[in-house]
């Protein structure tokens, strides 16, 4: 499918600078552009490619001023990255525009299907589950009984969703996720044995949440594990039972959140962050990669790093001293040697 520069500008609210009739049929990075492709420029370090790219159209920011003549057609927008993301979403929608229930899919009695639903081969939909309008279930997905999936949500291959899970509208669940498995609940007994504590709660995922591949979200022991609206979880994240993640919080890969922890809104966690259980994290907290959090963070907007975490600026100052630790040890050892020598000289003088 081809689009002209004028059509694209209308879609993203841009202004064409160049040939409005030039057409593109694909997308490309600006440094790899070729005729018939669309690119964008947002990061200044890629500016030199604007003058050499073969892309037919490049999306740029309104305030960008070229240093020399540009051969390609430009579309100026307030935010080039956001505009290109919008086009990528439209592009994805055209490629994933599937409808209908495959003959090899299974829907149990009582399943309710909204209009224009897609269910791929070898997927299983449990009894009394409700799928909203335009929900897309790709092949080999398991959805247990009494689940609710909101309008426009996309669930990619191999996802497992346990009974009673509630997922809002326009969510994206990537391949291999497991949502609603039992939380890690065991009661210790005499003789170093453990008794399993039944996990009777559910998982609630609100609207516009995206969950990366192979992430796991456990059901609550009692009540609900809750992922609030707009949360973005990377691949390989573990959310334990009865956790609550505040709206628009984002977490990078391999983050682990222990049971009953409450995370505020608009937080940002780097990769491999670990949080202990039964703690509270305030709104807008930022945790650097590999941070370990063992206690509450009450300060809104705190920026923390380390394990255990300390304020980011304090950590950077400590890190400077840590890098020089060997030098300080050598100096202390030298001072000790000199003191021992002085002590020895003093002892000899006393003997005389």
Report the catalytic residues.
Answer: 241
Non-local (6+) Cβ contacts of 63 within 8 A are: none
CA angle at residue 222 from 281 to 276, to 5 degrees?
Answer: 30
**What one-character-per-residue DSSP string does 86-131 give?**
HHHHHHHHHHT---EE-TT-EE-TT-EE-TT-EE-TT-EE-TT-EE
Give the separation between CA 73 and CA 88, rounded to whole angstroms.
19
Structure-token pair, residue 187? 């009661």
Please list the helix, strand and coil fractions of the chain in percent, rounded to the nearest 5, in that order.
Answer: 20, 30, 50
Cβ neighbours around 231 below 10 Å, total: 25
**DSSP for residue 18:** S
- Residues 24-55 as b or e (16 or more Cβ within 10 Å = b): beeebebeebeebbbbbbbeeeeeebbeebeb
The alpha carbon of residue 281 and the mean position of all alpha carbons in its chain are separated, in whole angstroms, by 18
Q: 156 with 175: CB under 8 angstroms?
A: yes
Give the separation between CA 311 and CA 315, rounded to whole angstroms.
6
Give the separation between CA 128 and CA 145, rounded to whole angstroms.
6
Strand 268-269 relative to strand 136-137, pairing: unpaired
Crossing angle for the helix pair 5-12 and 80-95, to the nearest 10 degrees = 110
Nearest to 263 by CA among 235, 234, 288, 293: 293
């Amino acid at each position: 499918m081809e689009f002209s520069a004028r059509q694209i500008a209308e879609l993203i609210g841009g202004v064409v600078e160049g040939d409005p009739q030039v057409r593109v049929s694909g997308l490309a990075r600006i440094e790899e552009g070729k005729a018939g492709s669309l690119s964008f420029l947002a990061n200044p370090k890629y500016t030199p490619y604007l003058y050499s790219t073969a892309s037919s159209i490049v999306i740029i920011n309104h305030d960008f001023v070229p240093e020399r003549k540009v051969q390609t057609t430009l579309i100026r927008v307030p935010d080039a990255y956001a505009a290109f993301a919008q086009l990528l979403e439209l592009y994805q929608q055209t490629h994933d525009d599937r409808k209908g229930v495959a003959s090899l899919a299974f829907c149990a009695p009582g399943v309710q299907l909204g209009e224009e639903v897609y269910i791929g081969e070898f997927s299983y939909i449990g009894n009394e589950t409700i799928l909203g309008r335009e929900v897309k279930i790709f092949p080999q997905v398991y959805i247990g009984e009494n689940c609710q999936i909101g309008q426009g949500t996309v669930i990619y291959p191999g996802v497992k969703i346990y009974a009673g899970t509630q997922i809002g509208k326009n969510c994206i669940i990537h391949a291999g996720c497991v949502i609603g498995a039992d939380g890690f609940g065991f009661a210790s007994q005499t003789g170093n044995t453990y008794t399993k504590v039944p996990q009777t709660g559910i998982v609630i995922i609100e609207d516009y949440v995206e969950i990366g591949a192979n992430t796991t979200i456990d059901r609550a022991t009692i009540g609900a594990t809750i992922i609030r609206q707009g949360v973005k979880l990377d691949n390989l994240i573990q959310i334990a039972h009865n956790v609550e993640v505040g709206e628009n919080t984002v977490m990078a890969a391999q983050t682990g959140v222990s049971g009953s922890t409450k995370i505020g809104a608009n937080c940002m966690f780097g990769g491999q962050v670990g949080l202990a259980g039964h703690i509270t994290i305030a709104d807008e907290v930022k945790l650097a990669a590999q941070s370990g959090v063992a206690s509450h963070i009450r300060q809104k907007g705190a920026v923390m790093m380390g394990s255990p975490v300390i304020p980011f600026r304090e950590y950077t100052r400590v890190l400077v001293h840590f890098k020089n630790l060997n030098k300080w040890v050598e100096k202390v050892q030298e001072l000790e040697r000199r003191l021992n020598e002085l002590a020895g000289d003093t002892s000899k003088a006393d003997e005389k």
